[in-house]
Amino acid sequence: YMNDRIDTLDEFDASFIFKQYNRSDKMNDACKIALMKYLCLSDDLKENELNLLDNLVREYVVKNVYFSFFKKMDRQLIVKYHMYDKKFVEYHGKPNERINIVYKKNDDEIAIEEMLEMYPGIYVRQFVIFFGDNIYYEVHRLDEEEILHKDVLVYNDIVNEDNSRYDMINKMQSSLIYYEEKELIEEMKAYHGLDYVTKQLFARV
C-alpha cells in the first residue's frame, strides 16, 4: 500500500485488513494507517471496530505520529487522546523531502518550520487553536519559492458544552468576540472556580 492506496481504501479492502489484524497485529504501517483512516471516517462503528481504532490510534500517538484524519474519529476517542484542541496541516508528497510550512497566526509574526514526515511522503504540522484564531499558511519545499499548498485554519466550530478548560476558554473567547458581556462574566467566574478547586485538590496531595 502506497499513499494513494491509503487514501482510497474501500470497504472490501478494509474488511480484509480488519480480519488480518484480528489474526495478528503484525502488519505493516501502510495497512494499519489505511485501516485507521477508514475507521476514522466511518460512522456508527461497532464496539469491536471502535476498540480496534482505539488500539491503532494509541499505537501511533505514543510514537508521536499524527494524521489529519484523527479529527474525524469518534468523539470519545477525540476526547481520550486530547485531539479536540488541535488542527492538522497535512501535505502528501514524495518520501524523504524537506518540506517547510510558512504560517502566520492572527497578528503574530510570520514563522517558518519544517514539517514532520509521519509516514513516507506524508508531512504533518499540528497546531493548538482556539475560538476566533486564524492561521494562514503555505507549504514549500526547502529553499524553494513554489507554493505546494496554501490555506487558512480557523476555529469556527460550535463551542461544546463540556466543562474542560479548553472548552471554557473557547466559550470566554466567543463571548468576548461577540460582546456578550454577561455571559463572559459568568464564564470567567466558572473558570476561576474550576481553577480554585483544582489548586485545592492538588494542594492536598
Q: Name beta bridge partners: 140.
A: 100
Q: Mean pLDDT, to the nearest integer, of 178-197?
A: 65
pLDDT score of 156 more than 70? no
Question: By three-state DSSP, how is residue 37 classified?
Answer: helix
Q: Mean pLDDT, to the nearest integer, of 5-22?
A: 65
User: Which CATH superfamily does the domain covering 85-156 fall into?
Assistant: Immunoglobulins (2.60.40.10)
pLDDT score of 24 more than 70? no
Residue 204: count other Cβ atoms within 10 Å of its Cβ: 5
Name the pairing type of β-strands 122-128 and 86-92: antiparallel
Q: Which residues contact 129 (CB under 8 A, 6 or more apart)?
A: 85, 86, 87, 135, 153, 154, 155
- Distance between CA 191 and CA 205 in Å, rounded? 22
Average pLDDT, the chain: 82
- The label of the residue with cell 509516514 reads 119
**Res. 3 pLDDT band, cuts 50 70 90:** low
Q: Of 51-65, 94-108, 181-195, give the lowest mean pLDDT range.
A: 181-195
Look at residue 160 in the predicted model and tell me its pLDDT: 56
**Res. 63 pLDDT band, cuts 50 70 90:** very high
42 exposed, middle or buried (CB, 10 Å; 0-12, 13-18, 19+)? middle
Spell out the domain ranges in the chain: 1-84, 85-156, 165-203
Look at residue 9 in the predicted model and tell me its pLDDT: 59
pTM: 0.74
